[in-house]
Structure 1
Amino acid sequence: MGSLEGRTALVTGAGRGIGRAIARRLAADGALVAVHYGSDEEAAQKTVAMIAEEGGRAFTVHALLGVHDDARTLYEGFDRGLKELGEPVALDILVNNAGFNVRGGVATVTPQDFDRLMAVLARAPLFLVQQGLPRLREGGRIVNISSAATRVAFTSALAYTMAKSALDALTRTLAKELGSRQITVNSVTPGFVRTELNKQRWATPEAEAAHAALSVFRRMGEPKDIADVVAFLASDDSRWVTGQCIDASGGTGL
């Protein structure tokens, strides 16, 4: 992996789970990391503390996504945090990771759940990119965390799948539009990853075994599995990869 020394990264939803693992890995590779959180400040501060213990640099940024002016609020905190550290207001790596899931098929999904999922998983990344572009330096990296649900039909996550599919469409379109600035844009699609977000789904050994069996490796994914792929896409080694959806599901559904 290429060194990220001298670069600044922003990871949304970095207080726990996949986002925390990504923030820690990018910091370990040398980046100064803005750890975004929506509601759990304690978890975000823990991520920053972990990065500091590992010899990295990070600071928190608070903004609730999926609401009016969410991108503006986030970047105000981002800019302020950089200035307080004496760093230039610039961005090299944007990781759109923040998200949640509301289960429901075609008979049970509600307009309210659909709107919330689209607002956080699709609309927020779009405007975070739009308002981040003046800060994003030449040769920057945008990585969107999508889902294997866009490839494998999970009927119990219809609205979630639709929102993540919109994120993949954003990835391809942005890759073409931003190529002239040598900015790469890619998606990473995890499968079932052992995090706090969905831990009730595999709370028993039987449930975990059932989910693990969907991967060709017969195990659950770990946040580090996803973070390592993101680190590659954030590095110089990925300079010739753009507009792609990189499957990091452990072969789920093959």
Structure 2
Amino acid sequence: MPHILIVEDEAAIADTLIYALQSDGFTTTWLTLGLAAVEHQRAMPADLIILDVGLPDITGFETCKQLRRFSEVPVMFLSARSEEIDRVVGLEIGADDYVVKPFSPREVTARVRAILKRLLPRTEAASASELFGIDRERVQITYRGQLLSLTRHEFRLMQSLLEQPERVFSREQLLDALGTAADAGYERSIDSHIKSLRAKLRLIAPDAEPIQTHRGLGYSYSPSHS
């Protein structure tokens, strides 16, 4: 039974989430402070954390940064701020989802289930990626049994996407995978590499779309579209 840590300083919102999650079979813990959540995760790790951005002590963003120093626990942000930049920042510092208030408790519960489902142990997740094969020593990737003719940059991009299915990578994060500084003005070159990768994948499977675009956020690898 997955355990969800809710970090929210508004009691009404926390009560709604607790009711919805427990009704769906989850167990929950409710805290109101970011620093308390960090210490709680060290001592009694939760399976997923629902984290409000506007907390009384430190922001949810700072809380997430501290969590990422020692834990890969899935994090879902809650925020009253709907601006694109806030969503991008949240995802770039390691969150798995970003939900804007007001929200449907049933939708949050569904999103929690979806995150936990896609973050299966790697042995289980690997079975969903059997269409691809990665040979790191030879710097090669196969797709549906056929060798892809990739440049060095394309190999590194595809490898990064394949190793974390469903994770949304920003252009900045993908530049890091290439060893290119994000401030070098090359972020849009990622789009060109992705376009080339898609063209090569379509030569093998014209109707598949393994690389998904997330408008304003970045790209992900989706096993269900492979």
**TM-score exceeds 0.5:** no
Which fold has the larger relative contact order, with Cα–Cα distance below 8 Å and residues 6 or more apart in sequence?
A: 1
Say which one has the larger Rg: 2
TM-score between both structures, scaled by the size of structure 1: 0.38
TM-score between both structures, scaled by the size of structure 2: 0.42
